[in-house]
Chain A
Amino acid sequence: MKLKNLFLIFVTISSFAEEYAVVSNTILDDISKNQIRAIFLKKLTHLNGIHLVPVNLASDSFIRKSFEKELLGMRKKRLKSYWSNQHYLGNRPPVIMKSQKSALVFVKNVQGAITYVKVKGLDDSVKVLYRWSDDEKE
């Protein structure tokens, strides 16, 4: 882990693009990109008996947009119709936190919580599951 982190930090420092990461509560094991996608689409709700709680940031958040592009591969419109359909099946979209800060606290407090934040300012109270970077500035 430490090595990976160091690597990430290195990478972050050495590039001008924003580094984002998908983080989760420390209780969780590693999760693949696909799994992350599935979780955020609420196709995957449990892992190792732990109830998964995906947390979105505000809908106008740049990070979210980046996340959805990067990990979900779905555009807003498509996501909207997806969740519309899901609504009728009784699935609700993920919890929304207003800020990265609150999202992070949420993730720290809630077992099975996953969210995405800027890499900058992260500590080891949360587990990093995936990283990506985006050239597009906020």
Chain B
Amino acid sequence: MLDSLNKSLSKRLLFSFIIIGFLPFVIFLIYTLVLSETKIVDKLILDQHHQASQISKFMNTHLLSLDKEVAFLSRLDLMDDILAEDIDKRISRLLKQKKDDYNLKLNFFVINDKGQIIASSDKNIILTKFPLQDKLNKNTKKFFLDKKLYIYSKVFASFDKNKNLGYLILEYDLENLNNYLDHTLNAYAYIKNNNIVIGDKAPFDISINSEKDSISLDDYIVVYQKMDSILEEWYVFYVVKKEIALEFFYNFIHFMLYLSPFIIILTIFVSLKFSKYIVKPIEDLTQVTDEIILSKDYSKLLYMSSSDEVGRLAHSFNILLNTTDKTLYASEAKSSFISNMSHELKTPLNAIIGFSQYLISYEKLTDEQLDIVSNIENSSQYLLEMIYGILDIAKIEAGKLETDIKELDCLSLSKECFSMLEPLAYDKGLKFELKTKDYSLNFFKTDEKIFKQILINLLSNAIKYTKEGKVVLELTNTKDKFFVKVIDTGIGIKKEEMGKLFKEFTRIGNSLSSKQKGTGLGLSLSKKLSHIIDGDIYLESEGINCGTRANFVLRLKD
């Protein structure tokens, strides 16, 4: 994957665009999904707690006011009528009035000290015995029984504070408290005391662990608080269906999720288009350059309409093409020049040499004339040789030198060269050896003419520059290299002059060399020729009179 990315700019662009397109959206989505919900839920819980507190407060305020009412009523002078058994029904009427005023499910009644209901807002229960006498035990208090709250107060005679006439009791149906509880479709608000529930109970049980807490379930968010004041034994619960509470949020999420395939498609589509659009000019450029390379028609120019980076690249490329075209043209011109020159130079020179030799062979010349003509012949031969050398170098430089590569037995070629120069060595009194240690090649693919030319050049140089001692021709090869070494015990090469060795027309100067003949092209040409057959030549010497090692190395291909 990484590899294919590395190979394709358009893929890299596409990938980058997609990431840039997706990244914000994805980050936002993740944030929304993961964090927002929590935040929203927390806020919700806070609100619900507040709601619950409000409910609690309102309920208690209401009940407190009732409590006050009970206390108030119990202290009325009217209560003395208890002693008159409320024959005038003054108390009942008052209680009824009060009940009507409240318009709630409640009842007031007054019981006498014997527990008989003397007066009541409900006339049906008058003169019945109050059943819950035993629950009455303090001054102004309350108790809960089932779904009823009883608030009561002792009544005393107005004329005698110590005379207990009985009790004023308010029987309050807790269902009234539903007025304070939301009855909405998706929220449950209720108060609970042990198993008694007022309001819409949630369809599941909630275990109470503390006085105030919130629970976030899968479907619901539950908030509960312990109530205080009159309802101090009670807990108020506020349960909200997550779905509804977070409705907007979930809608938003759904919207985002529905949107995401479109966004994905859009992002990918736009990214593809864009990356292609950006890469297209480069591809066009590549196509045209490929055509140029194939057709080798460097006079073709690239057309680029934009002035951006690619346009500038095309412009530079055009300049390059122009240069290449000119260079190639020049090179072509050079080649044909070379081959023309070759012919033009050789032809007259042939005549000069020919005539010189003719004169020497066929005409009777005086000694002096012989010397003169001989000079002409010698000089012309050198000239011819020089021309050959220059032409070869020119061909090599122009890349026009053709090679004839064949499988050859280099040992036998080496032997030929060796025997060609043997007389020369012996005549000089030098030892001339051919060594083949570590030589294992039977055949080697190379060009025969070039191989021999180089070898003869090296050998003749070695012989030429060695006064005494020996010249060794050594053939070795390793796994990947083939070495032809010519080692002599001659005059060697000064370290400073190493650099000049392969320069054209340069001969390393010392006393011997002025007598030596040669064009000065030998080594330079040999080195260049060696490069053509995938090899190289380098010389080593410890210094003056330390001999020279000429290394002709060829690369072995598998």
Contacts and interface: CB of A to CB of B under 8 A. Distances in A.
Contacts of A76: none
Size category of the A interface is 10 to 19
A98 to B, nearest CB: 4
B87 A105 contact: yes
Nearest to A53: B159
B159 A97 contact: no
A92 interface: yes
Interface stretch (B23-31, B77-85, B278-286, B403-411): B77-85
Nearest to A102: B84
Contacts of B3: none
A37 to B, nearest CB: 18
Given A95-B77, A98-B88, A51 B160 contact: yes
Contacts of A98: 81, 88, 90
Given A51-B160, A53-B159, A92-B159, A99 B87 contact: yes
A61 interface: no
A102 B158 CA distance: 16
Contacts of A99: 87-88
A130 interface: no
A101 B80 CA distance: 14
Interface SS of chain B: loop
Contact of A109 (B85, B88, B159): B85
A10 B86 CA distance: 33
Given A51-B160, A53-B159, A95 B80 contact: yes
A44 interface: no
B81 A102 contact: yes
A106 B83 contact: yes
B81 A97 contact: yes
B59 to A, nearest CB: 37
B527 to A, nearest CB: 144
A104 to B, nearest CB: 8
A103 interface: yes
A45 to B, nearest CB: 9
Contacts of A102: 81, 84-88, 90
A106 B84 contact: yes
Interface string B140-183: 00000000000000000111100000000000000000000000
Q: Point out which of B84, B87, B88, B158 has the most chain A C-beta atoms below 10 A from its C-beta.
A: B84
A88 to B, nearest CB: 18
A101 B88 contact: yes
Contacts of A53: 157, 159-160
B145 to A, nearest CB: 30
A43 B45 CA distance: 68
A98 B87 CA distance: 9
Interface string A99-131: 101110110011001000000000000000000
Contacts of B88: 97-99, 101-102
Contact of B83 (A51, A94, A96, A109): A109
A97 B81 CA distance: 7
Contact of B84 (A51, A92, A94, A105): A105
Contacts of B84: 97, 102-103, 105-106, 109
A113 B81 CA distance: 13
A102 B84 CA distance: 5
A63 to B, nearest CB: 15
Contacts of B83: 105-106, 109-110, 113
A120 B443 CA distance: 166
B195 to A, nearest CB: 43
Nearest to B80: A95
Contacts of A92: 158-159
B259 to A, nearest CB: 80
Interface string A65-106: 000000000000000000000000000101111110111011
A75 B160 CA distance: 27
B158 to A, nearest CB: 6
A105 B81 CA distance: 9
A123 to B, nearest CB: 15
A109 B87 CA distance: 12
A113 B160 CA distance: 12
Interface in B87-138: 87-88, 90
Nearest to B84: A102
Given A95-B77, A95-B159, 18 more contacts: A51-B160, A92-B158, A95-B80, A95-B158, A97-B80, A97-B81, A97-B84, A98-B81, A98-B88, A99-B87, A102-B81, A102-B85, A102-B88, A105-B84, A105-B85, A105-B87, A106-B80, A109-B85
Closest 10 CB pairs of A and B: A102-B84, A98-B88, A106-B84, A102-B87, A102-B88, A105-B84, A106-B83, A95-B80, A101-B87, A99-B88
16 contacts: A53-B157, A95-B80, A95-B159, A97-B84, A97-B88, A98-B81, A98-B90, A99-B87, A101-B88, A102-B81, A102-B85, A102-B87, A102-B88, A103-B84, A105-B85, A110-B83
